Chain A
Amino acid sequence: MKRLILLMLFLVIGPVARALAASPDEIIQKSQAAFFYPGADFKARVMMKLISPGGQERVREMTMLRLNTGEAGGEQKYFMYFFQPAEVKDMTFMVFKYPAKDDDRWLFVPAINMVRRIAMQDKQASFVGSDFTYEDVSGRDLGDDVHELAREEVLNGRECFVVKSTPKADSAGYGSKLSWIDKASFLPLQEEYHDRAGSTVRVFTADEVKEVKGFPTITKRTMKNLQSGHRTEVSYVSQDYNVGLEDSLFSERFLRQPPKKWIE
Chain B
Amino acid sequence: MLIPRPWRLAWLAASLLLNAEVCEAALDLHGFVQGNYGLDTASANPDGRDSKLAEERIQLKLEADQGPLRLFVKTDLAWDHLDDQEDLELREGTIDYTAAAWDCKIGRQMVTWGLGDLVFINDVFPKDYEAFFRGQPLEYMKKGVDGVKVGLYPDFASFEIIAIPLFTANHFPDAKRFWLYDPMPGVSTRRTIEPGASLDNTEVAGRIYRDIAGFDASLYGYRGFFRQPAMQPEPAAAPARLTLWYPELAVYGASLQGSALHGVISLEAGYYDSRDDGDGDDPMIPNRQARFLVGYQRQFWEDFTVGLQYYGERMLDYGNYAATLPPGMPAEDRLHDLISVRLTQLLRHQTVKLSLFTFRGLASGDYLVNPEVKYNFTDQVWGALGANIFGGGEPWSQFGQLDRNDSIYLQVRYEF
Contacts and interface: CB of A to CB of B under 8 A. Distances in A.
B206 to A, nearest CB: 15
Most chain B beta-carbon neighbours within 10 Å: one of A58, A130, A230: A58
Interface string B92-115: 000010100001000001111001
Interface in B267-300: 297-299
B379 A119 contact: no
A89 B96 CA distance: 19
Main secondary structure of the interface of B (DSSP, over half): strand
A155 to B, nearest CB: 29
Q: From B209, B216, B264, name the one whose CB has the most chain A CB atoms within 10 angstroms.
A: B264
B349 A230 contact: yes
Interface stretch (A107-115, A188-196, A202-210): A107-115
Interface string A80-111: 00001111010000000000011010000001
Interface string B361-384: 000000000000000101110100
Interface in B328-385: 346, 349-351, 376, 378-380, 382
Contacts of A29: none
B264 A119 contact: yes
B70 to A, nearest CB: 8
Nearest to A130: B349
Contact of A252 (B32, B138, B209, B376): B209
Given A86-B379, A252-B209, A125 B302 contact: yes
Name, among A87, A102, A126, the residue most crowded by chain B CB atoms within 10 Å (CB to CB): A87
Interface in B359-416: 376, 378-380, 382, 415-416
Interface of B: 30, 32, 65, 96, 98, 103, 109-112, 115, 138-139, 141-142, 151, 153, 158, 209, 214, 216, 257-259, 262-264, 297-299, 301-303, 305, 346, 349-351, 376, 378-380, 382, 415-416
Interface of A: 50, 52, 56, 58-59, 84-87, 89, 101-102, 104, 111-114, 116-122, 124-126, 128-130, 173, 230, 248, 251-253, 257, 259-260
Given A101-B259, A126-B303, 16 more contacts: A52-B349, A58-B378, A59-B379, A85-B379, A86-B380, A87-B376, A112-B139, A113-B142, A116-B115, A117-B257, A119-B264, A119-B297, A122-B301, A122-B302, A125-B299, A130-B349
Counting from the closest, the 4 A-B pairs by CB-CB distance are A129-B350, A85-B379, A86-B415, A111-B139
6 contacts: A84-B379, A85-B415, A86-B30, A89-B30, A125-B302, A252-B158
